[in-house]
Structure 1
């Protein structure tokens, strides 16, 4: 079973992580998430690093918070996790909140940490330069994109083969059809090409 390490800030992305955890579990993945680590010896930084090392692939989710900076460090745990993925040669799929996202009532914008705005901007800029990223606007769209990206990564690598190519994240645009009660979407490969999914790949609004 593929073990997926989920890296993100928690105060703003709690709902997103919960929806993603459910989607990953339903899709048959083992989840490494701080919320599931339980009581362990060692501080949060060491536990996080150890759990990441034990995982097969890292999913990084980045929005409007830089995250907790441990005492004595200049980096947030979220940025440390990004660096560990490189250090331990873990594939990392990166998902960044759409820069046009605007919703004053959203928990994302209510929980920004402007005092770390410059560090967050620098971190995101580094991600954009180093990785092929996908964007997201909502929790269900993010979960669908993550699952599609993991499936693509698995099909390319078969998990057991070596590849020098970085994994690609996939963006899925989801629109609810209120008349039919289904969600219709479009899968977009970041490097080009789109695949529509509809009647054979629909998700009921009530699930």
Structure 2
């Protein structure tokens, strides 16, 4: 990884050296103010460019707020300096160290913050308010205390004392950050609400579009019991997925409007309303096809047509349309007229699914609010999960980033193991080169 190291300079010089040393020993590329050379552009521009090029941010915070560029001038909105857009930025009153942290947040890269332990003895001359003779010295610790409090509210922070102590903590945190970078979610394609029942052509169209969207890369589809779902429709979707995609799992959720302030309860069909996805269960395609098979299907041509489709390489949309027609014929129905399928179906509920599938339906998800801040325990829980596809509930920001909602997706455990093994081997090789 390319890691940016941020801090005020003179007061934490030995600590910075320790942090940079361990990061390079671990094989990472380090970007820091020590790399700056004389240039026409401002120091602020240069360090922000470094943050922009970084994969992660390590911030060290003692008792100095740091150098404030352009004190007394108007900086906010200055396009020349390209400063982060944040409410906490004040004209000519924001330090370079603070700017660096805000830029890391703006770029949404992993942030690892380390705060000097409040109980650790510290030379007074390295504390704001005790070094009035220093150019641009802060008159007191008000600003650095506010920044430290902000960090503790926004991030999970680590506390350090000596340079050796910090070195160990940075090494551990960055190694964990490297592991969490391996946590990739397999986003499940949500089927539209109209796909759950046989009605007009929009139902078949919704199913077709979802199957096509899953394509060769999707591993999961998702249905939402907040709308009506027929057992026959779930079977049809599983059958089509087995023919045309690599989908192996269907996630079942039951969404509800979020508790975000100011958001009122609205219809399920209103896409502007954020909804929390509550996990009901995870089903394999095979379990659906063997458990939900309607009796009428056994004597129809649908199964034969479906099996034949595995051997035919033609246009997916055409193939789906043809099987949907065969499906209707199996019930002696026609598209748009589904009287017999309606008589055969069962309306799906969470309880009915649990009773019908029993142990074949996984019902225990893993909750990791932010994959970028996953802990060692989170990773072990993923690796120990009794299935190759792990249902994970995460928190996702809405369009405004002031609201959020919970979403259910999958982690492919086999792929995760492969990525972790590769990362471990690459780290061993990097250490061997250093030696």
Asked if Structure 1 and Structure 2 have the same fold, meaning a TM-score greater than 0.5 normalized by the shorter chain, the answer is yes
Q: What's 2:60 paired with?
A: 61
Q: Cα deviation per residue 1:6-47 (whole Å; 9 max; x = unaligned)?
A: 010001001111122222111111010100132344100000
Are 1:25 and 2:44 counterparts? no
Unaligned runs of 5+ in 1: 171-207
Residues in 2 aligned to 1:3 and 1:39: alpha-carbon distance in whole angstroms: 22
Would the alpha carbon gap of residues 65 and 169 (structure 1) be closer, same or farther in structure 2, given more than 3 Å must change?
farther
Native 8 Å contact 1:95 1:133 kept in 2: yes
Gap regions ≥5 residues in structure 2: 74-91, 130-138, 186-368, 377-435
From the two aligned structures, give the one with the greater helix fraction.
2
Partner of 2:146: 122
Match of 1:92 among 111, 114, 133: 111
- Measure how far apart 1:157 and its partner are: 1.6
Contact 1:146/1:169, CA 8 A, preserved across alignment:
no
- Distance change (3 Å), C-alpha of 1:45 and 1:18: same
Query: Are 2:4 and 2:32, in contact at CA under 8 Å, matched by a contact in 1?
Result: yes
1:167 equivalent to 2:356? Answer no
Q: Per the alignment, in what secondary structure is the counterpart of residue 10 of structure 2?
A: coil
Cα deviations by residue, 1:94-138 (Å, 9 ceiling, x for unpaired): 00000101144xxxx422222141111111111110000000001
8 Å contact 2:177–2:372 — kept in the other structure? no
TM-score by length of 1: 0.73
Q: Which structure would you say has the larger Rg?
A: 2
User: Counterpart in 2 of 1:13?
Assistant: 12
Q: State how many pairs are aligned.
A: 164
SS of match in other structure, 1:101: coil
Pair 1:168–1:8, CA change in 2 (3 A): farther
* Contact residue 133 and residue 169 of structure 1 kept, 8 A: no
SS state at 1:59 partner: strand
Query: What secondary structure does 2:11 align onto?
Result: coil
Alpha-carbon distance in 1 for matches of 2:38, 2:26 = 26
Pairing of 1:140-155 with structure 2 (within 5 A): 140-155=164-179
Contact kept in structure 1, 2:22 and 2:170, CA below 8 Å:
no
Answer whether contact 2:180 2:372 (CA < 8 A) is retained.
no
Q: Deviations over 1:45-103 (max 9, x none)?
A: 00010000000000010001010011132111111111111111111100000010114
Tell me the TM-score normalised to structure 2 length: 0.36
How far the C-alpha of 1:168 sits from its partner, in A, is 6.7
Do 1:85 and 1:92's aligned partners in 2 also have CA atoms closer than 8 Å?
A: yes
Q: Secondary structure at the match of 1:61?
A: strand
Q: Which has the higher contact order (CA 8 A, sep 6+)?
A: 1
Aligned partner of residue 12 in structure 1, secondary structure:
helix
Give the secondary structure class of the aligned counterpart of 1:13. Answer: helix
Alignment root-mean-square deviation, CA:
2.1
Aligned to 1:83: 102
Dislocated runs of 4+, deviation >2 Å: 37-41, 160-170
